[in-house]
């Protein structure tokens, strides 16, 4: 079954979309919808949270959330894919869409963090141009900090032209 993708410029704060997102995140991260709601509301209070959604057969099967860390720098914060839909390229497509949007918005860098236990996400990040830039001690073990430099569309176009 193929997925369809949507972008929400702001995280919903209630309603059916909010509930579907909470259930998905709670399932992906083995938490409760209430724990996810608290985390989302905390981040939402700090500024806009952008959301990319993947749906299949009317079901929310994946998401990618992020926000501006500081001018020119974006934080790819939270995301995941329902276990029955993994291995189909959904996470990669969500990431691709997020990065394309970030380039259009003139962000220069994207940062993300993950635990070693989320190896599929770590590998996906490395395959999409992230570099490991550090580690931190987190609540659940060592946190791996990754960052990707985004090509400036004007620079990329000039480099492409120069190589012809």
Q: Could you give the domains of the chain?
A: 4-162 (3.40.630.30)
Cα–Cα distances (Å) from 48 to 9, 24, 40, in that order, read 8, 20, 11
Cite the beta strand spans of 17-108 per DSSP E.
Answer: 50-56, 59-70, 73-81
pLDDT in tens, 98-146: 999 999 999 999 999 999 888 999 999 999 999 999 999 998 899 999 9
Q: Which residue has the tokens 């590998």?
A: 123
Q: Which of 27, 79, 16, 23 is CA-nearest to residue 50? A: 79
What whole-number distance in Å separates Cα of residue 139 and Cα of residue 115?
10
What whole-number distance in Å separates Cα of residue 102 and Cα of residue 106?
6
Instruction: Kindly report the pTM of this predicted structure.
Output: 0.89
Residue 65 is encoded by which pair of tokens?
A: 């959330």
By percentage, how much of the chain surpasses pLDDT 90? 85
């Amino acid at each position: 079954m193929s997925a369809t993708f949507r972008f929400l410029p702001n995280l919903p704060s209630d309603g059916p979309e909010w509930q579907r997102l909470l259930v998905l995140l709670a399932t992906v991260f083995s938490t409760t919808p209430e724990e996810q709601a608290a985390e989302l509301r905390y981040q939402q209070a700090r500024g806009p949270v952008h959301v990319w959604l993947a749906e299949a057969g009317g079901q929310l099967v994946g998401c990618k959330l992020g926000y501006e860390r500081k001018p020119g720098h974006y934080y790819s914060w939270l995301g995941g894919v329902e276990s029955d839909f993994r291995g189909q390229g959904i996470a990669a497509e969500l990431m691709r869409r997020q990065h394309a949007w970030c380039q259009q918005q003139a962000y220069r860098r994207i940062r993300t963090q993950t635990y070693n236990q989320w190896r599929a996400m770590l590998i996906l990040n490395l395959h999409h141009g992230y570099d490991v830039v550090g580690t931190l001690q987190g609540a659940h073990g060592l946190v791996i900090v990754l960052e990707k430099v985004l090509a400036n569309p004007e620079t990329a176009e000039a480099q492409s032209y120069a190589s012809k």
